Structure 1
Amino acid sequence: MDSEKFFTNKKAVILLASFCCILWGSAYPGVKIGYALFEISTNNVFSELSFAGYRFIIAGLMVLVVALCTSKHLFTLTWKNIMSLVLLGLTQTTLQYVFFYIGLAHTTGVKASIMNGTSAFFSVIFAHFIYKDDRINFKKTVGCILGFVGVLLVNFSSDLLNFNFKIIGEGFVTVAALAFSVSAIYGKKICQEMDSVIVTGYQLLIGGIVLLLMGFSGKGYMTHFTVVSTLVLLYLGLLSAVAFSIWTILLKYNKVGPIAIYNFLIPVSGAILSAIFLGENIFEWKNAVALILVCTGIYAVNYQPNKRSKRALKKRSDFV
């Protein structure tokens, strides 16, 4: 089975896309734990950026080493390829994670994971204007409304009397989701001309270097390296290397919509893992309802009846 057949196989897509989203969900408690182990305070923005820089440099190098070991041509790039990779690295890694790391430091892992669900809705909106066969319709509109209601709900207090939304917290996480949606569509375009693994490796490395330089520019140096803190950093790098590599390949061979449906696993896994590892309250009623609304909205946006269901509906309409 060649690469295209494998990565378009329905069972393979389900397993791989779900695996990616669970990995990304684990980043929420992972980053928060990393802050604690490296003793990075919520106000130390430049150290947060350095932390992100180390993570993505490690991730990029991991991907490129694998690419080199599998005989891929890493150094046969044109100036056009280089400029495309730089732009992708600055948007998909640098821009996204500047907002993600700062935002996550000022909100809970549960709230951040639910807010991140907006990336699926941004993808739907952008796809409407970019792809002729992926227009917004009634079910997508309903899905987007459900999702945004869920996002609003999670920012209210338990008695629904106070709206708790911090620009530098939940707002930044939302901007990160927006950056991910835009850059993923751009990355899909680049991968039509370049190898997906090479694209992933270079964009992670380039974005990580810029993040690290930004951190160092404000003297945000990393300290408190221990065995445990280093293992957490390596895990965060590994999950990015694996998740971004697989996701990029899936987007290359599939439409954006059918893949985006699996994004609902990010808020689910992120919220559950944050509750387990950070002791955060996922069982508060508004969090549970918000999670259900976001996941239902994402599913509704991307749901497509299978061919058998479509034939049944057609026969029913013909009969009527």
Structure 2
Amino acid sequence: MSQQKPMGTVEWLMLVGLSILWGGSFLFNGILVKALPPFTIVTARVALAALALHLILRMSGQSMPRDGKSWAAFFGMGLLNNIIPFLLIVWGQTHIASGLASILNATTPLFAVIVAHLLTDDEKMTAGRLVGVVTGFAGVALMIGPAVLGSLGDNTLAQLAVLGGALSYSVAGIFGRRFKRMGMAPMLPAAGQVTASAIMLLPVTLIVDQPWTLAAPGTETLAALLGLALLSTAIAYVLFFRILATAGATNLMLVTFLIPVSAILLGALVLGEQLQAKHFAGMAMIAVGLAAIDGRIAQLWKRRPASS
């Protein structure tokens, strides 16, 4: 039985990049939910991302597969990785604060460890991984602040929706491993899943939201929609499938620990927000948790007697 090896520098850099891109999605969604209904937001997000990725594929000379097996996988991935989590999280964010949504979304690695243990042979749960997940989650909660947890009992349905989105992401990570076995370059499943998602969502959105009846979006709304589609979806999913192919589903889901870190650091660098002691303490706990899940702490522990 093979075990997932620790991530290298390139994988870690891609994971940090993905956390920055996905961290922006909470900001973009926060702007968009004030102007557009959830189905319209999610449909526009995946449709614009699909257009951008197909344009890049055409310019690079790559072509999408046309066989039924590939497209069945694209539709399955689109449902698990886009439609279910996007709708649940966007709807949840209309009822709960973004900080609380980030904490609930940070349960994704915990779900991923459990799902991977049940459904894979090479990403089994270990004591180190479980301790790492709990430590990382505690770091996220500490960094965002205990005050946010004061509303944990309010809007239970919205909180369960975000947790459902986290669970769907973890299952999608396992499901998406098949694209590596199918020999696809990361750009192909990235484009395929958002295309399949747009196809499934468009008729539902036309019926439910009737977007032609909505007020014309303003400049801020359009800018947030383009950022969500191009940065947090199109580019992000190319990174997503590249990391999944090289580092595995459990390691990939660690990105949800890094998203709040990226958001807070960007706030400090771009907006001049103050970093507090709780931020540094939370980041330290997240770093320890990531190292434990990645297997580096276990490897150092095993080497210790030999070097003494």
- Tell me if TM exceeds 0.5: yes
Residue of structure 2 aligned with 1:263, choices 256, 267, 270: 256
Residue of structure 2 aligned with 1:140, choices 126, 129, 136: 129
Residue of structure 2 aligned with 1:189, choices 178, 194, 198: 178
- Percent identity over the alignment? 22
Q: Indicate the residue corresponding to 1:295 in structure 2.
A: 286
With the length of structure 1 as denominator, give the TM-score of the two structures: 0.78
Residue of structure 1 aligned with 2:72, choices 83, 94, 97: 83
With the length of structure 2 as denominator, give the TM-score of the two structures: 0.81
Q: Indicate the residue corresponding to 1:200 in structure 2.
A: 190
Letter in 2 for 1:230: L
> Are residue 53 (structure 1) and residue 39 (structure 2) matched?
no
> Are residue 20 (structure 1) and residue 29 (structure 2) matched?
no
How far 1:209 moved relative to its partner?
3.5
Letter in 2 for 1:184: G
Distance 2:300 2:99 in 1: 36
**Once structures 1 and 2 are overlaid, which stretch shifts more, 223-232 or 160-169?**
160-169
Structure 2 SS opposite 1:73? coil
Structure 2 SS opposite 1:106? coil
> Are residue 237 (structure 1) and residue 237 (structure 2) matched?
no
How far 1:99 moved relative to its partner?
0.4
Unaligned runs of 5+ in 1: 1-7, 41-46
Q: Indicate the residue corresponding to 1:3 in structure 2.
A: none
Q: Deviations over 1:28-52 (max 9, x none)?
A: 011111233xx24xxxxxx211111
**Once structures 1 and 2 are overlaid, which stretch shifts more, 135-144 or 183-192?**
135-144
Q: Indicate the residue corresponding to 1:66 in structure 2.
A: 56
Q: Indicate the residue corresponding to 2:219 in structure 1.
A: 227
Distance 2:38 2:172 in 1: 22
How far 1:300 moved relative to its partner?
5.4
Structure 2 SS opposite 1:191? helix
How far 1:200 moved relative to its partner?
0.9
> Are residue 251 (structure 1) and residue 251 (structure 2) matched?
no
Distance 2:167 2:262 in 1: 20
Structure 1 SS opposite 2:176? helix
Q: Indicate the residue corresponding to 1:95 in structure 2.
A: 84
What's the RMSD between the two structures over aligned residues? 3.6
Distance 1:213 1:282 in 2: 45
Native 8 Å contact 2:11 2:243 kept in 1 = yes
How far 1:284 moved relative to its partner?
11
Distance 2:169 2:150 in 1: 32
Q: Deviations over 1:290-313 (max 9, x none)?
A: 956983674255132289836732
Unaligned runs of 5+ in 2: 1-5
Q: Indicate the residue corresponding to 1:5 in structure 2.
A: none
**Once structures 1 and 2 are overlaid, which stretch shifts more, 290-299 or 191-200?**
290-299
Residue of structure 2 aligned with 1:312, choices 295, 299, 303: 303
Q: Indicate the residue corresponding to 1:215 in structure 2.
A: 205
**Once structures 1 and 2 are overlaid, which stretch shifts more, 216-225 or 304-313?**
304-313
Q: Indicate the residue corresponding to 2:94 in structure 1.
A: 105
Letter in 2 for 1:65: L
**Once structures 1 and 2 are overlaid, which stretch shifts more, 156-165 or 82-91?**
156-165
Native 8 Å contact 1:110 1:270 kept in 2 = no
Q: Deviations over 1:185-240 (max 9, x none)?
A: 11121232133211111211221333333222223424322333222211110111
Structure 1 SS opposite 2:62? coil
How far 1:250 moved relative to its partner?
1.6
